[in-house]
Structure 1
Amino acid sequence: MTPFKTTYGALTPLKMLPGVAGFAAVLMAAPLHAQTPPDAGQLLREQPKAPSVVPATPAPIAPAAPAAEPDAGPRVLVKGFRIQGALLISEAELVAQLQDVVGKELSFRQLQGTASHLIAYYAQKGYLARVVLPPQDVKDGIVVLQVVEGKRGSLRIDRQGERLDSARVERLIDGRLASGDTMDIARLGEALNILNEQPGIEAKAALAPGKGEAEIDLVVTAADKPLTNYSLGINNQGSVGTGKEQANGSISINNPTGSFDAASLMLNASQGATFGRADYSRAVGDGGLRLGVNASRLDYRLVQSTFAALRGQGSASTVGLTASYPLARREDFNLSFTAAADGKQLIDRTVAGETGNRNVTVASLGLDGYRVDGPDSLLSGGITRFGTSLVVGNSDQRNRAALTADRAGRQVQGGFSKLGYSLGRLQSLTETWSIDAGLRGQFAGKNLDSTERFSLGGPGGVRGYPVGEASGDEGWLFNASLNYRMNDSVGLSTFVDAGGITINRRTWAGWNAGTPGLSNSYELAGAGFGFDWRPSKSILINATLAGPLGSNPGRDARGRDSDNDTGTRSWLSLTAQF
């Protein structure tokens, strides 16, 4: 396997297959890179992905505020405090929180307020505690406060639904916060967070006095969410090779067996392509681990007039395994581990016969998460997103002519590896204005199969260019938008996009013989405006108008992009969820 390097290589036009003379002749008639026909691998890469688990963020749990007492009676000159019963936080640290009132005369109500202040400080540190002002004769101005640090007492599950497994809910909570443990709000919140991520479940917790003085009982209300969810949509975000206009639909079945499982089916169709994917996953154990299986099928034919003579068609079939585990699910920090293994069979044909028949196997490991700004952060009011992934695999071309062409050119055959990364920031400016910016990309160890390459164009990339524009083994993409929320239903944005690709990680003699003006590495940029409207809770409409900034080095001889067009592009989508 070729080791990683941080320098870019290059991307290539599809190589002419010398063993298929008719196909080679048609390809040679397309003089520039922008007019290379897509294959099954590229079209598979452009299909919708299964939705990822979005970490839940339940409201923080905090003790109720004590009832206010009349501000009457004698006052005491406070010269200091003595804290009794504190184990989780040092006495010196607690006393330091009360220095603002030292040297002042306080009423009984104000003294109780110091106890409430320490309760809030315990909560800020992630613990539940009672702080009381015991009966006392204040001597030398020293006020005694008694701390009772909470321990988790009993756990009761309030089951509201037919599909819920109460025992499983109880085991998940116990695994994060067992009976007798310090009542750690962060650990309790993490347990509820993981529980709320399970399909078809909604959970919340309430606290109640326990039998012992320090015990806090936990009552978790767990309810069934709807068994099924549906979505229907239309958009113009497909590949020009198989038709831009697409219709799609999906159905999800949530927790049908009570084992925190989920099944889904997704279909996507355009003029020249049909794609379907089925997924099933379930929780394994009681710590949040999920395992899944999936399968998909793509059948396509090229409908773009540029490639009509090719009569290109093909298919892609995949099967896969997935795993995910929540490493952290705190209120201000989330981190997930993911793993996957996939097998893909890709077949391409033209009027001249089969032009490719390969099997691609892939394994990946990934980390992704986000961090919410805290009160002591340099910046505030924002969320930082991050992620990285390592992919290794093998491409096995079984078509003899395609394999011969590959050995003479790109040399994709065999093992490969790539490293992906992403970093983003959502920054609130006011209640209605925000900035969202992100950078993502990949490095490759060698020239990659088309299923693993990086593309710049499309509604998720440089929006001034068509889907699939500028594909390469390595690349980077930057998106930034200024967003304005008019109200809960309508949002406006203006954005700028930029990216760069290296067409081939490794070039070879004559790689651009048919396109001598094409550089192995180049950049694209664009800018535009966006609009989103939610006329009802279940319907979302998105519209984007974008145009290029600068020129496209990968354009054809007529100065056109891969969709035979130039200038501005509009992206439209309508989605209904039920």
Structure 2
Amino acid sequence: MAAVDQHMHLLNKPQKFLQMKTYTLHVRMVSSIALACLGMGTTTLVSAQGSGTVGVSQAPAVLASTTPAKSPNPSQDARVVKAVSWDNSIDPQVNAMMEKAQASLLGQQLANAQITEQEAQLTKALRDQGYLIGQVVVSAADRAAFYQTGDLRLSIFLGKIGQIVVKNTSAVNSDWVQVVVDQNLCPNGVGNDCVLTKTNFERMTQLLYDTVGLQTGGLEFSSQGMPVGQTQLTVTTLSKEAQIKGAVGADNQGFSSTGQYRLATSLSANNLLGVGDVLGINLNVSNQGSVSGAIDLSGPLAANGLRWQGSVSRSQFSLPSYNNTSGFGNALSLGVAYPLLRGLDQNWTAGLNAVVVATSSETGGVSTANKTLQSGQLTVDGNSGDRSILLGQNTWFFRSALTVGQVMDDANSLSSPYYEAVGGYTKLAFQGVGKIILSDAHSIYSVINIRGQAANTNLDAYERMMIGGYSGLRAYSVEQGSINQGTISSLELRKAFNTEYGQFVPVIFADYLNGWVTHGPDIGWQAATGYSNLNLTNHIVASDAGIGLDWNYFNKYSLSASWAKRLPMSPAGTYGNGNSQFWFVAQVRF
């Protein structure tokens, strides 16, 4: 569930603490265009350097030639509307909007001021349908005809892009920027086939932002030299971030068998091999020399957001049944990901991966129990969109992964009825995180985190869900064990304090586990899996509560510390302190 976890730090950012800078343009663009289109001339949407504001100078005269400044006869008396007609719309929703307007207009008496008011109201309704620079007008000739006959004719201009110009000053190839803009804003080409819609516009701006090393610096709409109903769009793009970034840190999230305390380093780089590629390296080394981590690499396959992705990783998993025993998995993953929906208010991405994992366990330095897991994985990721995330509003993240695979063991081809199955398996894992603002004025909010999985058989230890640890029941150690299926839920209450020394966020939390150790237990499964408590039930229910503190110094230094204690009626911990645990994570970014 790393795709959800990587966004967790964003939940600690209330609106007034965000350092949004020029990215404010990225969030406010659509609403700015709608406001700008009420005027005439040329619209320039630019990001003031370092201020994070959007300036709008005059607005596009996309349809200026069709709208008179005043009635052809200002003294003309009001006329009763006898009939209403319109043209230029092939959208059923727009036609339904116009039919509703027709019903309300028939029989009304309209003078010049009322006609102008109707134009404004219908134009707003058209833009609410997603046509950002659309306009409904009554031309000078049609106004004159209305005063003579009572027949009101409305002209609908959906707002078309007649030409696209890209001005790129970033290190990203300009041809690539042009392709991203053209294919997502005007997939059928500019001119009469390119109507500017909210959906296409947001997808284009978001995919530009997704191109690492690139950000939108400004958008300019101009009708000069364009046919009536069309506009020229000029897109300016700038460099966004450093090509190479990194961090170092420390935590106590390791296993006692291989070293509880770990030093961590991470490095990210972009545009090293080609446009939009991203390289990520994460490495952990424990105080006993155990190494874990991952190397991730991805890049674009097409301008529509389709990306290839690959990963090589080494991770440790829980084997609670045996003393001084560690489980390791070396994994290779290759696949693709595609943004099904990319917008300011909602994002959904689907991924398809092929995964091969070689697992082993080590007891006293001797490697045993080698296995191979081969699987196909379908993932779906979603979130509430960049607007809510960056503005510190109510926010949600979701990820699900359906894994279908098989486990192979050369030494033993028989399935264990107790713990780990050899052969085919299917697992569905999910995680959902939600942030709810309780008091915006006092920066108080809650975070709900629910993660779980279900399976059709006893899973290999690599595929099981750990009970304890910083990402599980925080009152239990990482060596507490794992469950085959079930859920872990967390509820947190947070309050942010913003000071000159950084942001401090005290936390009160509770965790709750409801799960099953094995898929189908048999008599004596406890002893067969190494549990010393022969009365242990397969169905485990446990909970804890605790306190914590997060500190972030303007995204350069961060520290998170928490202490949790198990609640009554919960089983005692198997390893370490059986009643409580303390966790910390410290990091320095550069």
Task: Give TM class, smaller chain.
Answer: 0.7 to 0.9
**1:238 equivalent in structure 2:** 254
The equivalent position to 2:162 in structure 1, one of 142, 145, 153, is 153
Q: 1:262 aligned to 2:266?
A: no
**1:538 equivalent in structure 2:** 556
Q: 1:156 to 1:235 in 2, by over 3 A?
A: same
Q: Tell me if structure 1 keeps the 8 A contact 2:331–2:356.
A: yes
Residue aligned with 2:119, SS: helix
Q: 1:120 aligned to 2:89?
A: no
Q: 1:392 aligned to 2:409?
A: no
Q: 1:567 to 1:53 in 2, by over 3 A?
A: closer
The equivalent position to 1:217 in structure 2, one of 232, 247, 250, is 232
Distance in 1, matches of 2:5 and 2:508, equals 28
Q: 1:354 to 1:233 in 2, by over 3 A?
A: closer
Residue aligned with 2:28, SS: coil
Q: Tell me if structure 2 keeps the 8 A contact 1:499–1:523.
A: yes
The offset of 1:336, in angstroms, is: 0.9
The offset of 1:242, in angstroms, is: 2.8
The offset of 1:339, in angstroms, is: 1.7
Bigger mean CA offset, 425-434 vs 503-512 = 425-434
Give the 5 Å matches for 1:94-493: 94=98, 96=100, 112-127=116-131, 128-132=133-137, 134-135=139-140, 136-137=143-144, 139=147, 146-162=155-171, 164-178=172-186, 179=190, 180-203=193-216, 205-209=219-223, 211-225=226-240, 226-272=242-288, 273-297=290-314, 307=323, 310=324, 312=325, 316-351=329-364, 353-371=366-384, 382-398=394-410, 400=411, 403=412, 407=416, 409-431=418-440, 432-487=443-498, 489-493=503-507
Q: 1:576 to 1:96 in 2, by over 3 A?
A: farther
Distance in 2, matches of 1:105 and 1:120, equals 22
Q: Tell me if structure 2 keeps the 8 A contact 1:133–1:146.
A: yes
Task: Describe the superposition over 1:260-314 as per-residue Cα deviations: whole angstroms up to 9, x where unpaired.
Answer: 2111211112213211322221111222111122223469999x9x94xx5x567
Task: Describe the superposition over 1:524-546 as per-residue Cα deviations: whole angstroms up to 9, x where unpaired.
Answer: 11222333222223222223232
% identity of equivalent residues: 22
In structure 1, give the amino acid aligned to 2:276: F
The equivalent position to 1:498 in structure 2, one of 502, 512, 520, is 512
In structure 2, give the amino acid aligned to 1:336: T
In structure 2, give the amino acid aligned to 1:322: G
Residue aligned with 1:241, SS: coil
The offset of 1:251, in angstroms, is: 0.9
Task: Describe the superposition over 1:353-406 as per-residue Cα deviations: whole angstroms up to 9, x where unpaired.
Answer: 4432222222211212134799xxxxxx744544332112222223x4xx3896
Q: Tell me if structure 2 keeps the 8 A contact 1:498–1:525.
A: yes
**1:9 equivalent in structure 2:** none
In structure 1, give the amino acid aligned to 2:159: G
Residue aligned with 2:525, SS: coil
Q: 1:295 to 1:429 in 2, by over 3 A?
A: same
Residue aligned with 2:526, SS: coil
Bigger mean CA offset, 214-223 vs 342-351 = 342-351
In structure 1, give the amino acid aligned to 2:351: T
Q: Tell me if structure 1 keeps the 8 A contact 2:308–2:336.
A: yes
Q: 1:569 aligned to 2:573?
A: no
The offset of 1:499, in angstroms, is: 1.4
Q: 1:404 to 1:141 in 2, by over 3 A?
A: closer
Bigger mean CA offset, 422-431 vs 525-534 = 422-431
Task: Describe the superposition over 1:219-258 as per-residue Cα deviations: whole angstroms up to 9, x where unpaired.
Answer: 2222233211112222223333333322211111112244
In structure 1, give the amino acid aligned to 2:184: R
Q: Tell me if structure 1 keeps the 8 A contact 2:453–2:487.
A: yes
Distance in 2, matches of 1:429 and 1:142, equals 54
Q: Tell me if structure 2 keeps the 8 A contact 1:83–1:147.
A: no
Distance in 2, matches of 1:148 and 1:576, equals 53
Contiguous gaps of at least 5 residues in structure 1: 1-44, 375-380, 556-560
Bigger mean CA offset, 133-142 vs 424-433 = 133-142
Q: Tell me if structure 1 keeps the 8 A contact 2:318–2:466.
A: no
The offset of 1:86, in angstroms, is: 4.9
Contiguous gaps of at least 5 residues in structure 2: 11-22, 41-68, 388-392
Q: 1:74 to 1:563 in 2, by over 3 A?
A: farther
Task: Describe the superposition over 1:135-171 as per-residue Cα deviations: whole angstroms up to 9, x where unpaired.
Answer: 3356398876543221122111111123x12222222
Q: Tell me if structure 2 keeps the 8 A contact 1:427–1:434.
A: yes
In structure 2, give the amino acid aligned to 1:151: K
**1:39 equivalent in structure 2:** none
Distance in 2, matches of 1:149 and 1:77, equals 29
Q: 1:146 to 1:239 in 2, by over 3 A?
A: same
Distance in 1, matches of 2:209 and 2:247, equals 21
Of the two structures, which has the highest relative contact order with CA contacts closer than 8 Å and spacing of 6 or more?
A: 1
Q: Normalized against structure 1, the TM-score is what?
A: 0.77
Q: Tell me if structure 2 keeps the 8 A contact 1:289–1:323.
A: yes
Task: Describe the superposition over 1:185-220 as per-residue Cα deviations: whole angstroms up to 9, x where unpaired.
Answer: 211211221222232222354333261111122222
The equivalent position to 1:59 in structure 2, one of 11, 25, 28, is 28
Q: Normalized against structure 2, the TM-score is what?
A: 0.75
Q: 1:78 to 1:95 in 2, by over 3 A?
A: farther
Give the 5 Å matches for 1:7-46: none
